[in-house]
Every structure is written in structure tokens, then in C-alpha cells.
Chains A and B, each alone.
Chain A
Amino acid sequence: GDSVTQTEGLVTLTKGLPVMLNCTYQTTYSPFLFWYVQHLNEAPKLLLKSSTDNKRTEHQGFYATLHKSSSSFHLQKSSVQLSDSALYFCALSDTNAYKVIFGKGTHLHVLP
């Protein structure tokens, strides 16, 4: 069945450094990939989405490129801020499908 894998449970780094959060997926359908961000005691919110192969999508300083050849949609930022500390979920949906499959999430902890 369809699945999403986020290999890191926790990523800790210092403010100003670059970050990459890994996301790979498995599906036999045409994929739509999402990144959701959840700050402490808040609801998850959509950060990025893409279904276009090899096209970079950006929002709020974060960016990701869907690579269908490697089934990946890694989230990156060139310089993390303290406010980026949160739980990040990668999610997969089939185009025009109601159901979304979430990865287990990666906690990003940014140190001063």
C-alpha cells in the first residue's frame, strides 16, 4: 500500500544553519505531496504542496522539489530561525483522492 517515510524523528541544529528534512514515499498512483507544520499545542497547517516533477516549490523560506525518479520530497531551508522549531509532517495523496497519508513526523528543534 501507499506509505510515507520520514527517517528523522528529531533534528536539532543552531539558528542560521541550513536544514533538510527527509521524505520518501511509495505509491502506484500519481502522487501529490505535502508538507504540514505543527507548532507546539497548535493545529497542523499546510506549508508546501506539489505534484509537478522536478519543480521547486517555496513558501515562507522553505522549499521542496518533488523527484518522482527517487520518490522523494525533502523539505529544505537555507537558514533556520528559532520560530521554525516545530513538528513537520510529510504527506501523500493520490491526485483527486480524498485520503491523505501522513508520515510519522520530524521534530525540528532550533537552538539559539
Chain B
Amino acid sequence: DMKVTQMPRYLIKRMGENVLLECGQDMSHETMYWYRQDPGLGLQLIYISYDVDSNSEGDIPKGYRVSRKKREHFSLILDSAKTNQTSVYFCASSLYNTGGSYEQYFGPGTRLTVL
């Protein structure tokens, strides 16, 4: 059964602390993503990873960085978290379909609160 996992599911941090969000997938997908979801704003792309050590900024990369050392794992790091980074973070991986699309599989999300 294809699966994307995220840890932790819930996290509370104080402003200025470092945050590490972890994502794993068991499908050997090359491409992985980090999004944040805020009410009324939909899903905003933070970073894309095309494969190990091959990452690209998305639409809102400021304040975030990523690490992908193994194909199965993709980490999102917040150095010195800010209150406006309070959000729900989703990881996704994608599979290329012969029809020409990259179909995304999402993890269950991490709810991050920065106080």
C-alpha cells in the first residue's frame, strides 16, 4: 500500500527555536514536495526535490530549507522559527504517469504552532 508518512503530527515551538519536519515515502518516487496550507490560501509550494541532493525553491521558500539525503526521506527545516510560520505542513511525493502527469500523494500533515 503506497504511503507517505510525516513526523511529528503536531508540534509546538517557541519563536526562535529550530524546527525539523520529517517526511518519508515507501514508493521510491523521485520527486517530493513540501507545502503549507493556510485558511483561504490553499496549498502553497515551499520546495521541490527532484531526487537526492537535487532541490529547487518553490513559491514561498523564504525562512525554510530542505534536505534530501535518501530518496525515501525529505526534511523541512525552519531555522529560528517565526510566529507567521504557524501552519499545517504537507509533504507529497509524485509518480509520473504515462499520460504525462505527475500525480501527487500527500502525507497526513504536520500542524505546527510557533508561539
A residues neighboring B (CB under 8 Å): 9, 32, 34, 36, 42-46, 49, 51, 89, 93, 95-100, 102-105
Q: Is the CB of B31 within 8 A of A49?
A: no
Q: What is the chain A residue whose CB lies nearest that of B44?
A: A102
Whether the pair B42, A102 counts as a contact (CB closer than 8 A) is yes
Question: Do B102 and A100 touch across chains, with their CB atoms under 8 A apart?
Answer: yes
Q: Is the interface of A mostly helix, strand, loop or mixed?
A: loop
Beyond A49-B103, A93-B101, is A105–B94 a contact (Cβ under 8 Å)?
A: no
The answer to whether A51 and B101 touch (CB under 8 A), given A42-B108, A105-B42, is yes
**Does B74 count as interface, using CB distance less than 8 angstroms?**
no
Q: How many A-B pairs fall under 8 Å by CB?
A: 55
Chain B min CB distance to A2 (Å): 11
> Are A32 and B109 in contact, CB atoms less than 8 angstroms apart?
no
Is A98's CB under 8 angstroms from B100's CB?
A: no
Q: Is the CB of A95 within 8 A of B42?
A: no
The closest CB in chain B to the CB of A52 belongs to B99
Indicate if B24 sits at the interface (CB-CB under 8 A): no
CA distance A45 to B40 in the complex (A): 18
Residues on the A chain within 8 Å of B34, using CB: none
- Residue from B50, B102, B105, B106 within 8 A of A93 (CB atoms): B102
CB atoms of B100 and A43 under 8 A apart: no
Kindly list chain B residues whose C-beta atoms are within 8 Å of the C-beta of A97.
Answer: 102
